Chains A and B, each alone.
Chain A
Amino acid sequence: MFQIEFDNQPDLVVGIDLGTTNSLVAWMNLTQPEVIPGEDGDKLVPSIVSLTEAGELIVGNAARQELIDHPERSIYSVKRLMGRGIEDVRDELKLFPFRIAEGSENVIRVALGDQTFTPPEISAFILRQLKKNAETALDARVTKAVITVPAYFNDAQRQATRDAGRLAGLEVLRLVNEPTAAALAYGLDKRKEGVVAVYDLGGGTFDVSILKLQEGIFEVLATNGDTHLGGDDIDNRLMQIAIEDIQAEWGEGIAHSGEAIQTLRQDVIRVKEALSFAPSVNLEFAWHGKKYQRTITRELFDGLIQDIVDRTLGPCRDCMKDAGVTPEQIDEVVLVGGSTRIPLVRSAVEVLFRARPHTELNPDEVVALGAAVQAGILAGTVENQLLLDVTPLSLGIEMYGGVASKIIHRNSTIPASAGETFTTGVDRQTNVLIHVVQGERELAKDCRSLARFDLKGIDPMPAGFARIEVRFLIDANGILSVTARDARTGKEQTVEVKPSYGLTDEQVEAMIEASIDNAEADYKAAQLSGIRIEADGIMAATEKAMRNKAWLTLTDEERAEVTAAMNRLKVVYCINDHHLIHAQVDILNQATHKLAENMMNTAVQGALQGTKVE
């Protein structure tokens, strides 16, 4: 009998930065983390999803134009809705054109055209695109991933992210906090010891973390942040003045037109981004033959956003306090997120931490690179590095009288656990309901409700006699699980979970069930487009070589062989069979082997073998 060895190859695990604005996928290429570009060559995949008239879902740059032309069938910044309830997002809806569908009481549903989706499903579309990009580029199946989340994400937001991964056909091996991932990316080439502050200001979220680095251990001391602060808020400031100006100049507003607002938003973003590198930039907006223009100086801009920048400083100070460090003790500062390109942000950070921030790594890519490193740690290809992260928010249970009793404090290293013993309040009571909340406030109602855990099947006894030991465990992803045991009998107790926000496990399962066929189709499509890219490359190189003088060094038979292989590849190219194309690519590769060698020998530039498309 044969025993097939499956385990001798390290798993391929990708790292994904699922951003509010942009998303990226990266992997460990031998020893270096590397971002994988999409087919359009862009490393950043805009987190935009659009449903075309034909019912096709498109993601990224392709969806960008759709967002302008058909805002009612497109969505961006969906990360803002992850793990949140309808009441949470009311304010948000004033600024973001999310079309919340009917029946969003338990889980928010967003309308894209005439279909509705939950935020995890929409995020899953983005993840699927990234998965496909990776499969195409690496010509391998990708089923495992590390996904990053803002450090300040609560349990529901983390669960929603994990659900999105599952819906996209990915086994989410770990959720990693974005600032921590960034530190990992930096630590790789530096191997420094000391205290590092990571300041991450992206499109929708702000995070700050302080870490201690020692002999490859990245120990997070404290983290803080604001899940609703970022570049989008800055855009809104510029939008506001532009909308007011336009109203005054044209005598009519544009706020009622989704298309106009989207166009203006993109104009405003262009101006904002250019202002990071120029002292003044012209804002121009054209709409139905009318024109609006205004020069935005850095000075005006800085004044507009000063308070937004200031709002990041409080969490930074609190974080230092919790970490037990003073600004002088911080050795290095790492900047992450597109909004840290703004000079005012940089100078504020520099003044606060009294250290010149690192900017060697591209702030757009650093989180994805770090996620790839963590993926390498989990796959076993990166050794001697270990991340010890913390939970950003205290975990509490609601006590009699509405007080939240903290059982796991914020900034505790995870995994972390706590045990509590519960009893019954009335005779013959057979279940106990535990309300778990997350947050720092005194009263449970001011904290974030996570879930109600129903301890069922307690033996009927007089009040106060039952002793149910409940264990709360926060895993390395920052996600809570609860188990219970009857202390008298030692019997495991069933715990029914009612999440306050988000999907139940059953709902996720049902959605996965429905999407498995899609995953298969996605993979096939990715394989096909990958091999076609390869075919394009070799055909282009061969055609070029045929015009080279090395072509004449081949015998007639050899030339005929190349030409025949070329023609056969052209024939199978359009057939939707990855294996068929692959086989012909191999044959052409073989046939042109000598040609390539001769080209090299005659010192002609441009290698033929293994040529990649630019």
Chain B
Amino acid sequence: MTCWNCGAAEPARFCVSCKALQPPVPEYFAFFELAPQLALDEKDLQQRFYGLSRKLHPDLFSRKSPAENEHALEATAVLNDAYRTLRDPIARALYVLKLEGLDVGEQSTKDVPPELLEEVFELNMALEEARMGDADALAQLPGFRVRFEAMRAETDLAVAQVSTAWDATHAKQALTDLRGHLNRRKYITNLIDKTNVPDRV
């Protein structure tokens, strides 16, 4: 790699020789100068985000050359995308899975986790009845929601646990477990959305 502006070798975020802003590192953790990790200190991340914003934001480049301005726009877009992803534990976990080549499949959300089969069956019944105008069934929905939300909280806890485990060991098994938890979580979230029936039903 050489600096786009002066040709100096191995430029950092800013070229050591001409100080020009370089194209951003696309990998989110590297962008924040962090190692890939699942359980990260969100306060620290925020401080890094503010610190980098103060260096990279296009507002600070409006008097520089158009080329450097463009780099600031690119870099800040990556910064913001990275921060949005890494600050949220779930988005962060999905990102780590992708980095490690374990994408969460799309179709997996359609397969009902076996332990949820019964609940899902009952929910669908209640929804169907509610749609037909059954007030009792409608009244059951908040109860479903409470139960599903408790399940999601449980899953979040499990996600946090495997996260710590993976950070410590980088064991492949931890990631596979993580993927399982995330799929289950996604499934539960869909169920919760279903229980949010507008009042006018």
A contacts, CB < 8 Å to B: 7, 11, 173-174, 214-215, 217, 374, 377-380, 386-388, 412-418, 473, 475-476
Contacts and interface: CB of A to CB of B under 8 A. Distances in A.
Which of B50, B59, B60 is the most central at the interface, judged by chain A CB atoms within 10 Å of its CB? B59
B2 interface: no
A416 B59 CA distance: 15
Contacts of B11: none
B57 A386 contact: yes
Nearest to B57: A386
Contacts of A386: 53-54, 57, 59-60
Given A215-B50, A386-B54, A413-B84, A378 B59 contact: yes
Nearest to A10: B63
A387 B58 contact: no
A476 B60 CA distance: 12
Contacts of B5: none
Which of A380, A387, A417, A418 is the most central at the interface, judged by chain B CB atoms within 10 Å of its CB? A417
B160 interface: no
Which of B60, B63, B73, B77 is the most central at the interface, judged by chain A CB atoms within 10 Å of its CB? B77
B78 A476 contact: no
Contacts of B73: 415, 473, 475-476
A387 B80 CA distance: 13
A214 B78 CA distance: 22
Given A413-B80, A416-B84, A417-B77, 9 more contacts: A215-B50, A378-B59, A412-B80, A413-B84, A414-B80, A417-B81, A473-B77, A475-B73, A476-B73
Contacts of A11: 63
Nearest to B76: A415
A511 to B, nearest CB: 23
Contacts, number: 54
Contacts of A173: 62
A415 B81 CA distance: 9
Nearest to B58: A476
Given A217-B50, A217-B53, A475-B73, A415 B58 contact: yes
5 closest cross-chain pairs (CB), A and B: A415-B77, A417-B77, A413-B80, A378-B62, A415-B76
B148 interface: no
Interface in B49-87: 50, 53-54, 57-60, 62-63, 73, 76-78, 80-81, 83-84
B87 to A, nearest CB: 11
Contacts of A174: 59, 62
A417 B78 contact: yes
30 contacts: A7-B63, A11-B63, A173-B62, A174-B59, A174-B62, A217-B54, A377-B59, A378-B63, A380-B63, A386-B54, A386-B57, A386-B59, A386-B60, A387-B59, A412-B84, A413-B80, A413-B83, A413-B84, A415-B73, A415-B77, A416-B80, A416-B84, A417-B81, A473-B77, A475-B58, A475-B73, A476-B57, A476-B59, A476-B73, A476-B76
A415 B75 CA distance: 9
Nearest to B83: A413
A455 to B, nearest CB: 21
Interface in B3-42: none
Nearest to A377: B59
Contacts of B58: 415, 475-476
B3 to A, nearest CB: 21
Nearest to A11: B63
A481 B89 CA distance: 30
A414 B77 CA distance: 7
A217 B47 CA distance: 11
A393 B166 CA distance: 36
Contacts of B83: 413
Contacts of A476: 57-59, 73, 76
Contacts of A215: 50
A476 B75 CA distance: 12
A174 B73 CA distance: 13
Contacts of B76: 415, 476
B50 A214 contact: yes
Contacts of B62: 173-174, 378-379
Contacts of B80: 412-416
B63 A416 contact: no
Nearest to A212: B46
Given A417-B77, A476-B58, A388 B63 contact: no
Contacts of B54: 217, 386
B132 to A, nearest CB: 23
A378 B59 CA distance: 5
